Amino acid sequence: MVTVKWLGHSAFEIEIADKLVMIDPFLQGNPLSPIRLEDLRHIDVIVITHDHGDHFGDSVEIAKKHGSKIVSVYETANKALSEGVLECIGMNIGGTVKIDNLSITLTPAVHSMSSNPCGVVLSDGKTSIYHAGDTTVFGDMKIIGQLYKPTIALLPIGGFYTSGPREAAMATALIKPKIVIPMHYNTFDVIRRDPEEFKKEVKRMKIKNVKIVVLKPGESFKL
């Protein structure tokens, strides 16, 4: 079974391939976070999509406490290493690392940061989950869909810093996942969005064979 829990903003706790994975663990300072650091179960792996504070977040503190491996692009992994994390895997776009039965692949993203931003695909060989990171829609999302065939796509809909509902709907059309869970919205005033807008855009674009799952912070989706 695969479980995806949204922790607000772009933070997720994902159970896959007998691992507990956190992506972009921004908990302290996140007004939507339903949990505190001390509430976390043992975290095996942390994936960071880029080094902005609302994504790098609490990665270092969590990794030190839980002995978690951090996976990210090379420069971001080195930043965590310089802050005292013992095990960091620094890759780059298109790279894949396998940790036991879990495959982690870094994908392109279109965003600003001091090094390359990325998305990530987690796979246990049967189910793939694509976390787009901070990005807008871009044409190569079609290639991501073709290569990794994500069952679940986690897409930003907040606008301003990332794609909004319209762009996220176009991303859905390109990727062709079975399930989309919207993220990166309502954390701050500037990214306030009603996820129903996203649903309406998907319907307006006549995108079929996709299920939109809207989670509240702390809620989980199981597959």
Three-class SS of residue 24?
coil
**Where do the domains of the chain lie?**
3-222
Domain 3-222 has CATH 3.60.15.10: yes
- Whose structure tokens read 């990332």? 162
How many Å apart are CA 156 and CA 212, to the nearest integer? 13
Measured between its terminal Cα atoms, the distance across the chain in Å is 6
How many Å apart are CA 223 and CA 220, to the nearest integer? 10
User: Which pLDDT tens digits describe the chain residue by residue (223 residues)?
Assistant: 999 999 999 999 999 999 999 999 999 999 999 999 999 999 999 999 999 999 999 999 999 999 999 999 999 999 999 999 999 999 999 999 999 999 999 999 999 877 789 999 999 999 999 999 999 999 999 999 999 999 999 999 999 999 999 999 999 999 999 999 999 999 999 999 999 999 999 999 999 999 999 999 999 999 9
